[in-house]
Amino acid sequence: MVMRFTILIPTYRRSASLLRCLNALKGQERLPDEVVVTVRDTDEETQTTLATFDAAPLRIRSVIVTEPGVVSAMNRGLESIADADIIALTDDDTEPWSDWLLRMEKFFSEDPHIGGVGGRDWQPYERSDKEVVGIVQWFGRIIGNQHLGVGPARPVDILKGANCAFRASLLKSVGFDSRVTGSGAQVNWEIGLCLKIRRGGWKLIYDPAIGVEHHVEKRHDDNQIHRGLWNAQAYRDMVHNETLYLWEHLSPLRRAAFILWSVSVGTQGNPGLAQIARLMARRDPHTWQKFTGTLQGRYAGVQTSRRTQDIARQQTTLEISKVS
């Protein structure tokens, strides 16, 4: 069976980066059947860039979005895709390797139980090798490292949005969760998507050989944390999104362990009490802001989960009462 591949790329005010990405897609050994680029209605520069770009041999279609945020853009793009078998996702500041789609296709064609496939995004400022990648530990600690992964292909819990693909029917049934907070990048949105797919019994595969060069360009929103700039609200949004999805993924016992670990230990990125001394020794100027922001983000994520689950239960009750 020949699979139809669509690539979905959200972009905002990074037209030079987008051109670099599209030119890399032109060189794919296995060309995509379609490339869908979502563009904000206020981003006239990118609209002009796409209108004048020599797309051949690609088939490129732009989708205009009116709401801010990457999740809204991706949902709008997803709605517009009609006949794909596989939908690959990447950022506008990446350059996929020439065998990117070819390697992904092999996994999907060989195992019908695989719901998603992803790989390594090679970043310019951090280069080392990690064997543990994309895992949620039993107490809720997430080990990402998708940009550092080495070794053979293996099952994981979480793929990274800059380098992943999913079966189209599955992705359309799950969608991108609009409960995330953040003004643009809405960091950690992929955690919710991947954990929901995993709970459905599907396998997610990470293969470091599926590569993209990730140039980590500047974002045009408040979240520049992974670009070396601090923003307290963006930090709380990032923690909120992670907590929201972990809270809904973990059992009650594991939730208790997650809260205890988060407050008492945590990580250097999202510190608990045990990490404060380490951060202060490193002269991190945002030590206390990170600690309080982590607590605030954790609390907000739990509250969002509880509030939206209550709304869902109320809607279900209303629908049942209408039927009866």
| Calpha distance 296→235 (Å, rounded) | 10
25-56 burial code (b ≥16 CB/10 A, e <16): beebebebbbbbbbbbeebeebbebbeebeee
Helices marked H in 200-251: 232-249
Cα gap 239→283, rounded to integer Å? 22
- Cα dihedral 171, 186, 98, 156 sign: negative
| pLDDT for the residue numbered 324 | 32
Phi, psi of 79 (to 5 degrees): -60, -30
Fold designation for 5-214: Spore Coat Polysaccharide Biosynthesis Protein SpsA; Chain A (3.90.550)
Least confident span in 108-117, 256-265, 273-282, 296-305: 273-282
* Residue in this structure with the two tokens 């940009």, named with its chain if needed: 147
pLDDT in tens, 149-175: 999 999 999 999 999 999 999 999 999
Instruction: Measure Cα distances from 11 to 60, 63, 72, 137 in Å.
Output: 14, 10, 12, 32
Cite the residue boundaries of each domain of the chain with CATH code 3.90.550.10.
5-214
Share of the chain above pLDDT 70, in %: 93
Assign 310 a pLDDT band (cuts: 50, 70, 90).
low
Q: What is the pTM of this model?
A: 0.92
At residue 316, does pLDDT exceed 50? no
